[in-house]
Structure 1
């Protein structure tokens, strides 16, 4: 079964809109775990516009499932991850002005940089994953960095699936198979939803984990958080 890790950034965005502590991200994360999610994902950014660095520190002692911290490995982020020692760190090449993640790593161009960063995390027993586009050259480059996993950036899939493209997952399936052959675990995330997840899961092999936030939290506004998580878990079985 593919694991579901719930990204709680949008819960923090809602909290920050009023400047208080409602909804409380720690309590929300605990509830999400109790509803069956196998992991919690956060993506702190330097401007702390949603998840704050303090949130990450508050979450660590109370979580019972896998903790996945995503972000660009600037010194502030790297120091936080080494302090918290989550189960997994996912490296994302965030542009400073990006609203959300919008591209995977060029693992060929940044091979030496990624090698150095990943080695530091792995020395501390932290599983590493690299956010990549579904391009075989990038998968081959990722394998050379020493990473444990890749996370396939699935926005293009979601767009093509919405257009009715029967080959929307083809490149992802090929890259997942290649990653598996190269000894890499396969994660996926970005714009996956209740509408498109089953198709993706049915067509992409070796899928260890999906990280879903925006769609899941949005769907929960209509269906409730517990029911929404249960629906995702059904699709992943």
Structure 2
């Protein structure tokens, strides 16, 4: 592959990333209901994208499921934890009842989207903007270092059948990026090496989210989840890493608690 071809998507990635960083960072810093609405709308749009990919013949159904996803996230903020999880699963179960051959894929992925959105809201509310920023930066650093290392170094593929572009060099570089973010935040917050290790695992979970979304797209034969981001695909294409990382953090928080300081 020529140098020009190897980096041909860099400008599009950088441009779309810059816009999303400005919008997303603003929402994170402001917090409160503005951040809740932002997350709910983004997650609702991702449920809509998922439904369109898996069931392209029914646009109205996709809109309905996307709206249900956003509504479930907002409602989950007003009720206790266990009922909230049940509410978050309603869009996934509804889609599973309505869709055909991809019903289990939709159910699993839609549940992940809603649980991830709920975790992002909870992390911002309970721990403050610092730790929401930590989560974002772990995913972003893992993605950026993985992208550049994979493009520059190449080498053996990580999982060629599912994601033929991902290499071991990029995967390991992503872990290093996540570790560096964890180290910076550990120093800033007076925490130990546990946060560095946790950051690496969270970064890896983000990589798995990316691979899971790639697997869905390959299975249904589409290049992008949608065309919501001009010239560069959909929200699922950009936030798949955040989904994987946030679902993992949700599971850890529910099971053991998080190794984080206060906001």
TM-score (norm 2): 0.23
TM-score (norm 1): 0.25
Q: Say which one has the larger Rg.
A: 2
